[in-house]
Chain A
Amino acid sequence: MADIRIENLTKRFDSFVAVDDVSLTIEDQEFVVLLGPSGCGKTTLLRSIAGLGMADEGRICIGERDVTYLPPRDRKISMVFQSYAIFPHMKVYDNVAFGLKMNKFDTKEIDKRVREAAELLHIEDMLDRYPSKMSGGQRQRVAVARAIAMRSEVLLMDEPLSNLDALLRLEMRAELKRLLQEIKTTTLYVTHDQIEALSMGDRIAVMKDGKIQQYDKPDAVYDLPANHFVGGFIGNPPMNFMQGQVQRQDGRVKVRIGDFDLTPSDEMQPVLKSYEGKPILIGIRAENMETLATSAGDALQVEVLVVEPLGSQNLLTIKIGENLVKVATHPTFRVKPKSHVWLRFPAEKIRWVDRDSGRVMYPSV
């Protein structure tokens, strides 16, 4: 049993708080992604779990053991570093075998595990080579092989794909996911690429400014963001946010954007009642708006400013009131700049954001 429990972890560098009172639990054999922009504290958090940089406050428990003050080698973890950290003076075989050697496994076992790991990563015929004679992608495989040869209960990965070129990154993403599904370890994976996070994780922990903004399954993080930041960080293009004014009309809450009125769903009515007369932020994803070529009663007429034909979709840039909004349509939807389209906003797809706290409000269950 190797779940990871982080309790109230804080790490400072002089006066800068990199990780701010973070509590997190990663279940046994779960694949959790730490996602966030640079400087959000995700790498610091990962390194604290690894033991590279002692936490200032809080606890880290792996399985039954409290490892907060243990040096890295006593924590029984494996790690893949962002720069791979392959030992340049050793052959691939010895690199992969390193951890096993340090932990005093016997030679036959080492050989067996090294070859298994090499096969899994498709580097079996490179075992005799030196890292300087290998490409970046190959070195990355060596780093992963080294980590999985250990068969540790916990695997930490610090942006392992970010140094690869785009095509390779795509390939390796799928390969890594497949590989990690086979070997059953508890994995914590750090990245700033939200597509990687969505594609690979069982759960995603979104971080900003040293705090966890949301910790949930990918579809929840995508569809039901906890706050403005998460909504805007996840998704490509990011979630659109528009300014609106909450009003009351005929006993129902309506929100006015420019000249247009949005009607919140029935479940949201009670939540938004307290915002009457106040401004509010409305969030909706580009692909969640319905685009019509002709007018309809409940649809808003808008002018198209820019059309980006992306192949799999057309991305329209549209101005609504003061807001610039991106709308995704089917690639066959013909539209030209400076022409008009009509937009419909399905109520259940609208996300309502409190302007002061940034929190997204959901109907109380």
Chain B
Amino acid sequence: MTNANGTPSKVVQVSPEVQAIHRRLKRNQQMTRAFTYLVGILISLWVLIPILFIASMALTTPAEVRSYPKSILPFTPLSTYTLSFFLGSRGIIPGIRNSIVVAVITLVLSIVISAPAGYALSRFVFRGKDVFRLSILAVRAFPIVVLSIPLAVVFLRTGIYDSLFSLALMHTALALPTTILVLSSVFSSIPYELEEAALVFGCSPVQAFRHVVLPLVLPGIAASAIFTFVLSWNEVFAATILTIQNRTLPAQVLVTLNQSSEPYQFAGGFFMMIPALIFIFFIRRYLFNMWGQVTK
């Protein structure tokens, strides 16, 4: 009727064996942690050092770029000459502008088309749903090479070749499957009861969507939009095939690769990487939705 059924009759000292086990355990735990950190840091270095190299090349003088051996210290001397030389080169500013235009059109188009489909996939059960879902999964892996050539030929014949809009159409096609799947899982994360509550309290289905669902899914949609932007910005093959006068940045850099100097190339590579570095930071949490879940 008091506390625990008391102290054991034989008072056992902590035996040296147990002490040894304890010490070994602690050591193992610490070693595992240290090892994991070490591996993580090594891999991080593997990822970061090349970026450091190229950044260093882009932010230093052309003379330094051409020098050999390159100095161990990065960014010495620090200079924006190479970068501004690159930006001032023929076709680069228009290329950047074109890339942005294409990416924005792609972004808008893909969200507008994917959002309803994602909503349908998440909220409704309908005949053909599985087929639709499977086809999206299948199409996601489709080689862009297979699409670019015929589309290029067709665009040539119909006269919309070499237009930013046609490239944006191509990029939208690329981005659609992933966007639909991401948005469908974003919608699924909002309980349907919220919409039902809105319906009960007087909203039409569209109003319910606008007032309840939309604010909650905006972060997910934003992440998807950002990912699509980066996808379009980076795309090389179709851009090179489909644009001649109105080149996007990657197309321009690729096509002039043989004639361009190293400072130009390095500055170009670094510049193309900047959106990635910024944007991936913001959407890293959403990356898992984008590729996963073959299993429900």
A-to-B contact residues, CB < 8 Å:
5, 7, 22-25, 54, 59, 61, 66, 68-71, 203, 205, 212, 214-216, 220, 224, 226, 362
Residues on the B chain within 8 Å of A22, using CB: 4
16 A-B pairs with CB atoms under 8 Å apart are A5-B8, A23-B3, A23-B7, A24-B5, A54-B25, A61-B12, A68-B22, A69-B18, A69-B21, A69-B25, A212-B3, A212-B4, A215-B3, A220-B1, A226-B1, A226-B2
Judge whether B5 and A215 touch: CB under 8 Å: yes
Judge whether A362 and B1 touch: CB under 8 Å: yes
* Other-chain contact of A25, B6, B18, B25 (Cβ < 8 Å): B6
The residues in B between 10 and 45 inclusive whose CB is less than 8 angstroms from any CB of A are 12, 14-15, 18, 21-22, 25
* Other-chain contact of A214, B1, B21, B25 (Cβ < 8 Å): B1
A31 to B7, CA, bound (A): 19
Decide yes or no: A23 and B6 within 8 Å by CB, A66-B12, A226-B1 being known contacts. yes
A335 to B21, CA, bound (A): 68
Q: Please count the residue pairs between chain A and chain B whose beta carbons lie under 8 angstroms apart in the complex.
A: 45
A216 to B15, CA, bound (A): 31
Residues on the A chain within 8 Å of B22, using CB: 68-69
Decide yes or no: A23 and B14 within 8 Å by CB, A69-B21, A69-B22, A69-B25 being known contacts. no
- B2, chain A: closest CB distance, angstroms: 7
Residues on the B chain within 8 Å of A59, using CB: 12, 14
Residues on the A chain within 8 Å of B4, using CB: 22-25, 205, 212, 215
Residues on the B chain within 8 Å of A25, using CB: 4-6, 8
The 4 closest A-B pairs by CB, nearest first: A69-B22, A66-B18, A23-B4, A69-B21
**Secondary structure of the A contact surface, majority rule:** strand
Residue of B nearest to A359 (CB): B2
Judge whether B1 and A216 touch: CB under 8 Å: yes
**Secondary structure of the B contact surface, majority rule:** loop
Residues on the A chain within 8 Å of B12, using CB: 59, 61, 66
Residues on the A chain within 8 Å of B25, using CB: 54, 69, 71
Residue of B nearest to A71 (CB): B25
Judge whether B1 and A224 touch: CB under 8 Å: yes
Sample of 8 further A-B pairs with CB below 8 A, known A25-B8, A212-B4, A224-B1: A24-B4, A66-B14, A68-B18, A69-B21, A70-B21, A215-B3, A216-B1, A220-B1
A205 to B2, CA, bound (A): 11
Residues on the B chain within 8 Å of A215, using CB: 3-5
A24 to B21, CA, bound (A): 23
- B226, chain A: closest CB distance, angstroms: 35
Residues on the A chain within 8 Å of B15, using CB: 66
Residue of B nearest to A224 (CB): B1
- B19, chain A: closest CB distance, angstroms: 9
A24 to B8, CA, bound (A): 9
- A105, chain B: closest CB distance, angstroms: 25
- A127, chain B: closest CB distance, angstroms: 24
Residue of A nearest to B3 (CB): A212
Residues on the A chain within 8 Å of B14, using CB: 59, 66
A220 to B1, CA, bound (A): 8
Residue of A nearest to B7 (CB): A23
A323 to B4, CA, bound (A): 33
- B111, chain A: closest CB distance, angstroms: 35
A205 to B18, CA, bound (A): 28
Residue of B nearest to A226 (CB): B1
Residue of A nearest to B15 (CB): A66
Residue of B nearest to A22 (CB): B4
A39 to B107, CA, bound (A): 48
Residues on the B chain within 8 Å of A66, using CB: 12, 14-15, 18
Judge whether A7 and B8 touch: CB under 8 Å: yes
A362 to B1, CA, bound (A): 10
A203 to B5, CA, bound (A): 11
Residue of B nearest to A25 (CB): B5
